[in-house]
Chain A
């Protein structure tokens, strides 16, 4: 046993704040809400040290508005909230998606609906993160399962937001947000940082929403002389509003398709013991930590179990999951909700595979033992 200088005890929420700054975030706008407030608190202390701006706004909507405004100005920006605040931010999230202004939104999930259980963990915002704002829109959602992964995925969220010009949501639950773990951040010393593709070249005739090929337009930086118009109204390549069916169809196809064009960079999974698995447990966040333990407990009993863990929850890593689920007899989806991701899982398996949920939503994390018992019960049927 020797002490390692790189090791430190770090809280999930604080790791998120430190990683954001590491990724280049220079503006945080937020509003106090349990159980995410430590992110804002850390940002208020850390951002001024690097010349950044922390601002506590008057409400959740304003926080999201300020983040989008800052990012439109060219500064990487983030906000953090929990269920009630996430609901309030939905309209602005749709605005960011349509106008293609990068932003990072943290939702530390707590028990819901409504005020629910502010200090208790839940995973009830899986579908809200996908479909919360009105209309069809691209969505990128990441779900880390540990403090170290919160750090890694926060950096990745900023990179993806910039790469794709879209809001990126990180979901973690109260347990992960408040969890303190011994972490080694040495490997993050010089992280790969992605910056936005800023418009260059000729100003005359610049089209702010023209597809350069990868589905992600170059962004004009205010002050660069391009003087573009940004609007939440449906618009064409010029950025000005249109209701022309052909123009809108072309725009929306690009908008919805740009994530798929970067699928390799967006999708991330963690599959453990899945190669020979009869039972595949699909889990994310703190529930995946329990599932991981449960898988080894089941293996100890001679049951071939595996863990499939989407780190990118949306878009759901379809082909990776299909490859794992193909040979499974049983797919078990434990969630701290009444059954949300299971809907996506059911869609992707064949008739030969049984899909079952373990759905507990009373504010306590799902235990490894509960997952083991559920798997045993299903297998003995």
Chain B
């Protein structure tokens, strides 16, 4: 039960599956074992979308999340579905614009304008990477250098520079937010 559990949630089209894939690759590259599962609705865009990771030193026995260590919420639609598995120790990072009613359970909540930051660096689609980077910085489950390496390996060449900016932006936001309450 010492597995580390992360959920990236929001609405379809926000790039959460890609972010989870990059994180899974990053964890593999540092010798961890992962189980990554998805939940989505039968629409290509919009609707609830989430990607969960269970990360362990050994092969993961139960691959689905039960008690989250970290939770990203990029859209209001994703709030309710996670309430049962948020613990007082869970680090919850939510988008301050897209999430209007924060989860009403005890947790370590951090709120940031992630999507706005993505618009700020020139592409709203980088919100997923900004969020991933910020979450990793806040809770320390993955080194920034490892994520950078994975973005360079996995992203199409023309998007690498943009996503490296997004990683940097995420770290900047996390540092200015201070430690989670």
Contact surface of A with B, Cβ cutoff 8 Å: 1-4, 7-9, 34, 117-119, 146, 175, 178-182, 286, 289-290, 292-293, 365, 367-369
- Check B64 against A175 for contact (C-beta < 8 Å): yes
Those of B1-38 within 8 Å (CB) of chain A: 21, 24-25, 28-38
* Closest CB in chain A relative to B2 CB, distance in Å: 13
A9-B34, A119-B42 known; A182+B63 contact, CB < 8 A: no
In this complex, the interface size class of chain B, counting residues with CB under 8 Å from chain A, is 20 to 34
Q: Is the CB of A179 within 8 A of B36?
A: yes
Q: Determine the chain B residues whose CB is within 8 A of the CB of A180 once the complex forms.
A: 21, 24, 34-37
Contact across chains for B42 and A182 when beta carbons are under 8 A apart? no
Residues in A whose Cβ lies below 8 Å from that of B97: none
Instruction: Let me know if B66 and A3 touch, CB within 8 A.
Output: no
B41 at the interface (CB under 8 A from A): yes
What is the distance, in angstroms, from A80's C-beta to the closest C-beta of chain B?
18
Stretch binding the partner chain, chosen from B54-62, B126-134, B157-165: B54-62
**B28 and A182 within 8 A (CB):** yes
Binding site for A on B (CB under 8 A): 21, 24-25, 28-42, 57, 59-64, 66
Partner of A179, one of B28, B61, B63: B63
Cα A134 to Cα B38 with chains together (Å): 36
A37: shortest Cβ distance to chain B, in Å?
A: 12
Q: Are A119 and B40 in contact (CB under 8 A)?
A: yes
Chain B residues within an 8 Å CB radius of A182: 28, 32-35, 59-60
Q: B28, B62, B66: which contacts A292 (Cβ < 8 A)?
A: B62
Q: In the complex, are the beta carbons of A367 and B25 less than 8 A apart?
A: no
Q: Which residues of the partner chain A approach B35 to less than 8 Å between Cβ atoms?
A: 179-182
Cα A365 to Cα B39 in complex, Å, equals 11
Residues in A neighbouring B57, C-beta threshold 8 A = 1
Determine the distance from Cα of A119 to Cα of B42 in the docked complex, in whole angstroms: 6
Q: Assess whether B24 is in contact with A289, with CB atoms less than 8 Å apart.
A: no
A54 to B: closest C-beta gap in Å = 23
Q: Please tell me if the beta carbons of A369 and B66 are within 8 angstroms of each other in the complex.
A: yes
Task: Identify 16 residue pairs between A and B in the complex whose beta-carbon atoms are under 8 Å apart, listed by A's number.
Answer: A3-B28, A3-B30, A9-B34, A117-B42, A119-B40, A119-B42, A146-B63, A179-B36, A179-B63, A180-B34, A180-B36, A181-B35, A182-B28, A182-B33, A182-B59, A369-B66
Q: Are A3 and B31 in contact (CB under 8 A)?
A: yes
A285-B115 Cα distance, complex, nearest whole Å: 38
| Nearest 4 CB-CB pairings of A with B | A1-B31, A180-B36, A293-B62, A182-B33
Is the beta-carbon distance between A9 and B30 smaller than 8 angstroms? no
Which residues of chain A come closer than 8 Å to B21, judged between CB atoms? 9, 180
A289 to B62, CA, bound (A): 6
Residues of A within 8 A of B24 (CB): 9, 180
Contact A181 B28 (CB under 8 A): no
A9 & B63 in contact (Cβ 8 Å cutoff): no
Contact: A3 with B29, CB < 8 Å? yes
Residues from chain B with a CB closer than 8 A to the CB of A1 are 30-32, 57
Which residues of the other chain, A, contact B32 by a CB distance below 8 angstroms?
A: 1, 182
The smallest beta-carbon distance between A174 and chain B, in angstroms, is: 9
Complex: A200 Cα to B35 Cα, angstroms: 48
Q: Which residues of B contact A289 (CB under 8 A)?
A: 61-64
B28 touches A7 (CB 8 A): yes
Q: Are B37 and A179 in contact (CB under 8 A)?
A: yes
Asked whether A9 lies within 8 Å of B64 as measured between CB atoms, the reply is: no
Q: Roughly how many angstroms separate A290 CA and B31 CA in the complex, as a whole number?
A: 25
Contacts of B30 in A (CB 8 A): 1, 3
Q: What residue of chain B has the Cβ atom nearest to residue A293's Cβ?
A: B62
A146 to B40, CA, bound (A): 20
